[in-house]
Structures are given as structure tokens and as C-alpha cells.
Amino acid sequence: MKILFAARLEAVKDPMTFVKAGIQLPDHEFTVAGDGSLKKQCEILVAGRKNIKFLGWVDAENIRHLMKEADVFCQSDNVENIWSSSLVAAMKNKKAVICTNTGYTSKYLKDNYHVLLISPQNCSELVRAIERLSDDIGLRHRLGENAQAYVQENLAIEKIVKEIRGWMTTTVQDRRNTRID
């Protein structure tokens, strides 16, 4: 199974947990697309393991290609990850997603329905989630379908524009009603 991590290699994105999971699961292919201050530390940790590859910074066109090839996308932010462009792209591309349950993530994405939620910096939970998706191709497909539907229903540009227009209209009306001459 092919698992993709696409993010800056910084502490807030927690690439170390992803790499450690790759070490524990040598039968799966782990791809790290990104660059940052933890790249060297991640590469040292991997120490020649053939199932984990580092691509460095990758442009948007190549990220789209990697998304198509991947079976699973992993998002391991320590803070908020719900509006991450790579997370939304993975969902839009019907990928099974494993992501950390941080910030407002569980308010919008349901565990075992849109994504598999794991605790931040918890390698054992990440390993179990990967093994679960490896063993259950039906679950991978259901998560991908539900994730794509979520993006189409809730993150379509038309819906966002309509909501922004509504907020702007309300704000203008509120200002007009509280205007002091």
C-alpha cells in the first residue's frame, strides 16, 4: 500500500511520527513530499530503509500526481489541520485519509466515516490505522467516497462565495443599523 505525507517538515506538521510508522511497516511504501528544518533528522532516522522515500519540496502538479498514485494520505498536524490544502486535495481525490484529531477536525470530519482520526504524535495509533486500511480495501474506498462527497457538498467555491456574500451583507446591514451621524 502507498501512503503519502505532503507537508512542510516542521514540528507543527509532525513528520517524525509518519517516518516512525514507516519504519515499523516495511511492507508499505511511504512517501514524504516536503522540505523543512526536520528533513535531515527524518532522513537520519530512516537510515537507508527502502520503503520510505523523501522527495523534498514538490510543486502542485507533482502533488496531484502523487495523490493519484497514493492509496492513503496522512495528515499529522499537532495544531489545526481541517483547512489544510493537502488534506482537502486528498479528500477531493477520494483518498482514504488518516489525520490527527486536533482543533476543530472532529467537528467537521467524522471518524470512520470521512477519515480515520488519531491522536497527535501517536505512532502506535497511526500504525494501527494504516494496518486497518491495508486489511480493509472496502473501508479505504468508503472513506475516500465520503471524503470527496464532503468536499463537494461543503467546500465548493459556489457555497463558499454564497456564505461570504451573506456574511458581508449582514455586516453591511449591521453597520448601517448602528451608524451614528
29-33: strand order across its sheet: 52-56, 29-33, 2-6, 72-75, 96-100, 116-118
Class of domain 2-156: alpha beta
pTM for this prediction: 0.86
Write out pLDDT tens, residues 153-166: 888 777 767 777 88
User: Residue 94 half-sphere exposure, CB side, CA atoms within 13 Å?
Assistant: 8
Write out pLDDT tens, residues 70-122: 999 999 998 877 778 889 999 999 999 999 999 888 988 999 999 999 999 99
Write out pLDDT tens, residues 28-51: 999 999 999 999 999 999 998 999
CA dist 159 and 133 (Å) reads 32
Q: Where are the domains of the chain?
A: 2-156
What integer best gives the mean pLDDT of the chain?
92
Q: What percentage of the chain reaches a pLDDT higher than 70? A: 98
